[in-house]
C-alpha cells in the first residue's frame, strides 16, 4: 500500500482551507459531522442540474434516471457494508430515524415482561426510542454499565444475567461517540442470539471509521448516517436482515410503502420500500453513494489506520497538557476517533469557545450522552474527533490552544481577593 497522503485528501475538501480569524481552521468535530469532498458536492449538483425527478412513480426519462441513481445508491450502500442484498438497505433521514424505525417496528412484538437491553454509553438516539417503546408496550429497559476505563462491563452483565430468556432486543453502539470505545458487538450478539433476541447496532461512529461487514459484526440491524461518512445531511440508513425486515410491520404510512390501498385497509410493499413512506432523500442518496465511492477509493483499511494513528498522537499530545483528563479508553486500547476530556477548572463550553477563537473546532457539552457523563461523575466534557483528513498539525493546534485556555482562565486566580467591581474599567468595549 502506498503511503497515506493526507495532503492529497485535504485538497478534495475546500472547507479545510478556511481560516477562522487569523488562524487556520483545525476541524476536530468529525464525530459530530464530517466535511464533504468536492466529489460529493459535484455528484449532488449534477443530479439536480441534469437528472432531477421523483423516483419510482415518474415514468419519463428523467424519472428513470433518478430512479436508477437512487436504487444504485442502495446497491452502493449494500456493497459498502457487506449486505446480502440491496433490499436489506432502508433509507431514512438520519441514524436517529433509523433507530426509531428499528425500535417501533421491533416494538410491535414486545409485551409486558419482555426486556430490551442497551448500555449507559449510548447516544440519546439509542436510549430514548427504546424508552418510548418500552413505555408503550410495558416492556422493561435494562442496560450494560461501563467499567472505569470506559469499556462495556461484560462481567457485571454476565453475573447479573442481563441478557436472558426475557430479552427480545439488544441495541448497542459499535463505537462510542464520546469515549471512542469499540464495543465487542460479536460477543454480545452471540449472547443475544442464544436467547433469540435481535441485535441492533448503532453504527453512527463505527461505519465512518472502520471497514464494515454486517455478517462478521453479528448484527441483525445496523443504523448509520450519511453526513458522518462524508455524505450529505438528510439521509440515514437502516440495514436489516431481509427475513427480519420482511417480518416487521411498516413504520410510517404514505406513498411508496404500500401494495394495495383500499378504504377498508391496505397491504404493504416488501422491504425496503415498506419502510420508506413518501418521496425519499433522492439527491442525498446520490451524494451518499459518491461519498462511499470516495471512501472506498482511499480504502477503509487505510482510513481506519489513519484514524488510529491520529488518535494515538492526539492522546499523547493531550497527556502533555496540564490538567487534562481523558475519559474512557487510553492509548493502549483498540479505540475509535472520539476523545472526550476535561480540563481542570474550565467548563467545556468555555474550552470550546477559547479553542474556537484559535480556529480549533471541537464540541463541548454532553454529546447527547448524558447518562454516560453521569456515570463518569462529570457534568459535561470536551470532545475532539478527527477523520481521514485530520493532520498532526491540527492536533498540535488543539494542544496549544488548550494550554492557552488553561492560562486564560488561570489569570488572576490566586491573587488577592478582588472587591466587587462596579467600575467602567472593565466595561463594554473595554476588552482588548
User: Min. distance of Cβ 235 from another protein in angstroms?
Assistant: 16
CB of 175 closer than 8 Å to CB of 206: yes
Candidates 35-43, 159-167, 215-223, 345-353 — which segment interacts with another protein by CB under 8 A?
345-353
Q: Which of 67, 380, 382, 390 binds another protein (CB under 8 A)?
A: 380
The yes or no reply on residue 412 touching another protein (CB under 8 A) is yes
The yes or no reply on residue 428 touching another protein (CB under 8 A) is yes
C-alpha cell at 44: 449532488
Cis geometry, peptide bond prior to residue 363 (ω within 30 degrees of 0): no
Spatial distance between the Cα atoms of 250 and 252, rounded to a whole number of angstroms? 6
Site map for another protein, 112-131, x if CB under 8 A? ------------x-------
Answer positive or negative: Cα dihedral of 343, 348, 354, 360. positive
Angle between helix 282-298 and helix 38-46 axes, rounded to 10 deg: 150
Q: Which of 103, 119, 321, 94 is nearest to 198 (CA)?
A: 103
Q: Which of 142, 168, 335, 366 binds another protein (CB under 8 A)?
A: 366
Q: What are phi and psi of 173, to 5 degrees?
A: -70, 140
Candidates 8-16, 183-191, 206-214, 419-427 — which segment interacts with another protein by CB under 8 A?
419-427
Instruction: Report the residue number, 279 or 353, with the smaller CB distance to another protein.
Output: 353
User: Min. distance of Cβ 370 from another protein in angstroms?
Assistant: 6
Q: Which of 70, 251, 294, 409 binds another protein (CB under 8 A)?
A: 409
The yes or no reply on residue 365 touching another protein (CB under 8 A) is yes
Active site residue 134: no
The yes or no reply on residue 3 touching another protein (CB under 8 A) is no
Between strands 221-225 and 198-202, the pairing is parallel
Answer positive or negative: Cα dihedral of 374, 378, 379, 382. negative
**Catalytically annotated residue among 257, 368, 399, 401:** 368
Alpha helices in 320-430 (DSSP H): 348-356, 370-375, 392-410
User: Min. distance of Cβ 379 from another protein in angstroms?
Assistant: 5
The yes or no reply on residue 27 touching another protein (CB under 8 A) is no
How many amino acids of this chain bind another protein (CB under 8 A)?
35
The yes or no reply on residue 426 touching another protein (CB under 8 A) is yes
DSSP assignments along 290-332, one per residue: HHHHHHHHH-HHHHHHHHHHHHHHHHHHHHTSTTEEE-S--TT
User: Min. distance of Cβ 421 from another protein in angstroms?
Assistant: 6
CB of 143 closer than 8 Å to CB of 121: no
User: Min. distance of Cβ 205 from another protein in angstroms?
Assistant: 15
Q: Which of 222, 368, 372, 399 binds another protein (CB under 8 A)?
A: 368
Candidates 43-51, 330-338, 392-400, 417-425 — which segment interacts with another protein by CB under 8 A?
417-425
C-alpha cell at 425: 474599567
C-alpha cell at 223: 443504523
The yes or no reply on residue 19 touching another protein (CB under 8 A) is no
Angle between helix 95-107 and helix 128-137 axes, rounded to 10 deg: 20
The yes or no reply on residue 18 touching another protein (CB under 8 A) is no
CB of 378 closer than 8 Å to CB of 397: no
User: Min. distance of Cβ 358 from another protein in angstroms?
Assistant: 9
Spatial distance between the Cα atoms of 56 and 28, rounded to a whole number of angstroms? 40
Q: Which of 160, 215, 246, 379 binds another protein (CB under 8 A)?
A: 379
Footprint on this chain of another protein (rule: CB under 8 A): 32, 124, 347-350, 353-354, 356-357, 364-366, 368, 370, 373, 379-380, 408-409, 411-413, 417-418, 420-422, 424, 426-428, 430-432
Catalytic residues: 368
Amino acid at each position: 500500500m502506498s503511503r497515506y497522503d493526507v495532503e492529497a485528501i485535504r485538497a478534495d475538501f475546500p472547507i479545510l482551507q478556511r481560516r477562522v480569524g487569523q488562524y487556520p481552521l483545525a476541524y476536530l468535530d468529525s464525530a459530530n459531522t464530517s466535511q464533504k469532498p468536492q466529489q460529493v458536492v459535484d455528484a449532488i449538483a449534477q443530479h439536480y442540474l441534469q437528472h432531477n425527478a421523483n423516483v419510482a412513480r415518474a415514468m419519463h426519462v428523467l424519472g428513470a434516471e433518478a430512479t436508477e441513481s437512487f436504487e444504485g445508491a442502495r446497491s452502493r450502500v449494500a456493497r459498502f457494508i457487506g449486505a446480502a442484498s440491496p433490499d436489506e438497505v432502508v433509507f431514512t433521514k438520519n441514524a436517529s430515524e433509523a433507530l426509531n424505525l428499528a425500535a417501533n417496528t421491533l416494538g410491535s412484538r414486545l409485551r409486558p415482561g419482555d426486556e430490551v437491553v442497551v448500555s449507559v454509553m449510548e447516544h440519546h438516539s439509542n436510549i430514548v426510542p427504546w424508552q418510548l417503546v418500552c413505555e408503550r408496550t410495558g416492556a422493561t429497559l435494562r442496560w450494560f454499565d461501563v467499567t472505569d476505563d470506559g469499556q462495556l462491563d461484560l462481567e457485571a452483565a454476565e453475573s447479573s444475567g442481563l441478557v436472558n430468556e426475557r430479552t427480545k432486543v439488544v441495541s448497542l453502539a459499535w463505537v462510542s461517540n464520546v469515549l471512542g470505545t469499540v464495543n465487542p458487538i460479536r460477543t454480545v450478539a452471540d449472547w443475544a442470539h442464544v436467547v433469540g433476541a435481535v441485535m441492533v447496532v448503532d453504527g453512527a461512529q463505527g461505519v465512518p471509521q472502520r471497514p464494515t461487514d454486517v455478517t462478521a459484526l453479528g448484527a441483525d440491524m445496523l443504523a448509520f448516517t450519511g453526513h458522518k461518512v462524508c455524505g450529505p445531511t438528510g439521509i440515514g440508513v437502516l440495514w436489516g436482515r431481509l427475513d427480519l425486515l420482511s417480518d416487521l410491520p411498516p413504520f410510517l404510512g404514505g406513498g411508496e410503502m404500500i401494495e394495495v390501498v383500499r378504504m377498508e385497509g391496505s397491504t404493504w410493499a416488501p422491504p425496503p420500500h415498506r419502510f420508506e413512506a413518501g418521496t425519499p432523500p433522492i439527491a442525498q442518496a446520490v451524494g451518499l453513494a459518491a461519498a462511499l465511492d470516495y471512501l472506498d477509493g482511499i480504502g477503509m483499511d487505510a482510513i481506519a489506520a489513519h484514524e488510529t494513528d491520529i488518535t494515538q498522537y492526539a492522546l499523547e499530545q493531550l497527556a502533555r497538557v496540564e490538567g487534562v483528563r481523558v475519559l474512557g479508553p487510553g492509548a493502549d486500547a483498540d479505540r475509535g476517533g472520539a476523545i472526550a476530556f476535561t480540563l481542570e477548572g474550565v467548563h467545556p463550553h468555555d474550552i470550546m469557545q477559547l479553542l474556537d477563537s484559535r480556529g480549533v473546532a471541537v464540541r463541548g457539552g454532553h454529546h447527547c450522552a448524558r447518562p454516560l457523563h453521569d456515570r463518569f461523575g462529570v457534568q459535561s466534557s470536551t470532545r475532539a474527533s478527527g477523520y481521514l483528513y485530520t493532520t498532526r498539525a491540527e492536533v498540535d493546534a488543539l494542544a496549544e490552544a488548550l494550554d492557552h485556555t488553561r492560562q486564560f482562565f488561570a489569570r488572576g486566580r490566586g491573587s488577592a481577593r478582588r472587591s466587587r467591581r462596579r467600575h467602567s474599567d472593565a466595561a463594554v468595549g473595554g476588552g482588548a
